[in-house]
Chains A and B, each alone.
Chain A
Amino acid sequence: MSDEFEPTIVAFLCNWCTFTAADLAGSSRLSYPQNVKIIRMMCSGMVDPIYVLKAFLDGADGVFIGGCWPGDCHYINGNLKARRRVALVTEILKQFGIEEDRFWLRWVAASDGVMFRELSKEMTEKLKELGPNPLKVNKMIA
């Protein structure tokens, strides 16, 4: 039994690209870390910043948003709107001690199960280094 810290990553994945890639990773038996908990969104542009804030305030160690590569969005440009919102929220989170590395926006193509696995592993490792969300200690917040 390991006492090692296992980060919890809340992942908002877009249905058409990243979620499909995660599905593909699964059906190809590509093992990705259990730390990644997936919430399916129809598009990365559907992710309201309040979900990200809530995830962190509820104790998530990391938040991952997966979208299609620019130009490939199933809804044409939802990912570009997501990118702007992520830039904005990152600024706010940075100020309050939530490091940039805890909140990722990444592009994953539908056929790229391998990349989804790699990113999951990368983020999990990164968060193990950064440590748990400080709110996990003081739970009486939010």
Chain B
Amino acid sequence: MRLGPRIAELFAKIFLFGITLFIVGILLFIILFILKNGAAHISWKFITMPIEDMGRSGGILATIVGTGLIVLVAIVVATPLGVSSAIYLAEYTKGGRITEVIRFGINCLSAVPSIIFGLFGFILFVETLGFGWSILSGGLSLAAMVLPTIISTAEEALRSVPISYREVARSLGATRWQTVSKAVIPYALPGILTGIILSIGRAVGETAVVIFTAGTATQMPRSLLDSARTMAVHFYVLAREGISLDNAYATATLLICTILIVNASAYMLMHRLMRGRR
């Protein structure tokens, strides 16, 4: 039985819309599920108190600080390397063998599963270099993981700068570097920042890498060589040990809220970028 094309069209539209709505529904379900069970247990005390009793009571201040420090190390290490690489690829190279190799490297690195970064970080930073389970080991391993993302988004941002900007600068006698730093980068900055912010979001939620390199200490870290627990790791430990489902949900709520805020700011930044261009 063949449906008339117009009926098929209607059918298809509804079906496709339904699927899309279903997917959005899944996302809302996940977020609401966590929020519903967790929001009740969040209080100012929860956010500011240290972990007590293996996580059954007390708060999660140490994990908030731990997350912040590990992500900070990762971004501080990966951003200069990443943005410089992007500048080189977008502005300084004409293609050729070396560039091909570099691009291949970036591409492969972006595909490496997170567990391998955890493994690599464990062997190199924790054991061989002797940093032990620490914020430093965790941050450096995460830096390796987010490096390709920062490079790609930064390069795209740089490439989206109209050629005219460069031509004008050159015609005024600027060197390549002056052109790049004064004409191109400022224009591409929002795009570059977006990439960095998105990497922050990824790093905050990452668990496999961090557990093997930064460990699971529950105390407030006092130096970069201290082990620390991130919110994601804390959630994982609480949830799987069944120690305190309430606190697990609360931790997950904070975690998801942090990621939502980070992603939302990235999008608002992109939006301003787009609007400013019209």
| Co-complex (A, B) | no
